[in-house]
Amino acid sequence: MNGPQAPVAHVPRVRVDLAGQRLWLLAADGRIEAGFAVSTAANGPGERMHSGCTPRGRHRIRAKIGAAAPVGTVFRGRRPTGETWSPAYAATQPARDWILSRILWLGGLEPGRNRYGDCDSQRRYIYIHGTPDTEPMGVPRSHGCIRMRNADVIELFDRVHAGDEVWIQ
């Protein structure tokens, strides 16, 4: 008979490193399966509504949006607009915060930190999403979300599931 087993440490599926501007896809044993450059909030970390900050802590992927969408599909309000991003089209709307290709909508798991009240990540519409490939990665420039290159967000989207845990630290 085997003795008691050591408890298995909980490992999130996705970890976002705000200081390093990297997103890591992790295996159940904590091994890194893939790493991607990201761009988080220009306003830095923070959890309050309307702060323009990227919320920290434990989250869960609440919804995956855009599974069949072509690369560069433009989303507004989590719905495809029928538009496809291009440099020429972007030039007509230079101030627009582009949400492209795929959306992983996050919901906080920590009441009082990133869930409920004026710090609720889901009600703040915090996503991991695609952005124009002309946008720099590794530099905080978003309005609170976690931006990724389109090919990278599609790869991540295809490898995660609704319900998977995301740690932002």
Residue listed under structure tokens 């919901």: 107
Average of pLDDT values for 29-54? 97
What superfamily does domain 14-168 belong to in CATH?
L,D-transpeptidase catalytic domain-like (2.40.440.10)
Which residue, among 145, 127, 151, 148, has the nearest Cα to 137 in the 3D structure? 148
Evaluate if residue 6 carries a pLDDT over 50: no
Domain boundaries, the chain: 14-168
Q: Can you give the pTM of this predicted structure?
A: 0.92
The rounded mean pLDDT for the chain is 94
How many Å from the N-terminal Cα to the C-terminal Cα in the chain?
A: 41
pLDDT recorded at residue 4: 54
Average of pLDDT values for 118-142? 97
Are 124 and 55 in contact, with CB atoms under 8 Å apart?
yes
Evaluate if residue 123 carries a pLDDT over 50: yes
pLDDT recorded at residue 12: 86
Angle, alpha carbons 50-11-138 (nearest 5°)? 50
Mind spelling out the 3-state secondary structure of the chain?
Answer: CCCCCCCCCCCCCEEEECCCCEEEEECCCCCEEEEEECECECCCECCCCCCCCECCEEEEEEEEECCCCCCCEEEECCEEEEEECCHHHHHCCCCCCCCEEEEEEEEECCECCCECHHHCCCCCCCEEEEECCCCCCCCCCECCCEEEEHHHHHHHHHHCCCCCEEEEC
